[in-house]
Structure 1
Amino acid sequence: MSFVLDWEGPVDRETLLSVHPDAALGVDDAVWWSDRDTLGQIGRLSCGYVRLQSEDDHRNPEELRHAQRALFAARWQTASPQGFWFQINHHPRGEAPARPQWLPPGRFAAGRALRRKLKRLANDRRRVSAT
């Protein structure tokens, strides 16, 4: 696997339950959540973690803390396996800006951003394979 592409996904139980408050999930069940919190999984990746996030999240328009949490979890992952890297939107790999440039909101913009990012990632992979 070359990378994981995360488009506005919830990163922890707080974020997930804010979108689905009636879900029959408990925030206190650490065992159940241990393999489901994205924040805990980022450090286990041995590939890239790419986060795409618009200024208005498609499920929770008032909430961007989850994207910032994912970004900083990736940035401060000191025990990450070799081959790990991260990127938020179109910032350079490994850059964790305090105020990221968010993508424009809306389905059309999201589709365009996803296609653009996948094309760039595929081109990067081809370039690396050719060397």
Structure 2
Amino acid sequence: MTYVREQSSTELAVHMRSLQKMPGWHDPLADRLWQEVEALKAEVAGLRTGYEAYERVNAELKAENEALRGVMSAVVSEIPGARISRAGNAPGHCHSIPGVWDEDNGSKAGKECAWCKVWNYAVSMGKGDRP
């Protein structure tokens, strides 16, 4: 005979069911413990289901991310002048400071060039870098 404290959760569950089948069996403390065990089992099952859903969504997002990186790389490689643009500048742009409007551009002078910013993001995304 094994003591209750030495039983596995499965053995304990079988033991509790056998006790509950006995005529006249009633123990409020055991009933409360049994309810707690059942509630914890349900909670664990719910957590397991939630984690499996998380893993599934995470895998889907990773696949979608890789597909978007491939698309972005293809788009960047097809834009005319992409290979001859100066590092940090979008194709057709020739800022002295890459990605920043030159002082002869009036109100834009010294401000970040939005197209260069988008271009650089697309290039790094296509390479698999994290901008």
Which TM-score bucket, shorter chain as reference?
under 0.3
TM-score (norm 1): 0.21
Q: Give 1 or 2: higher helix fraction.
A: 2
Structure of greater Rg: 2
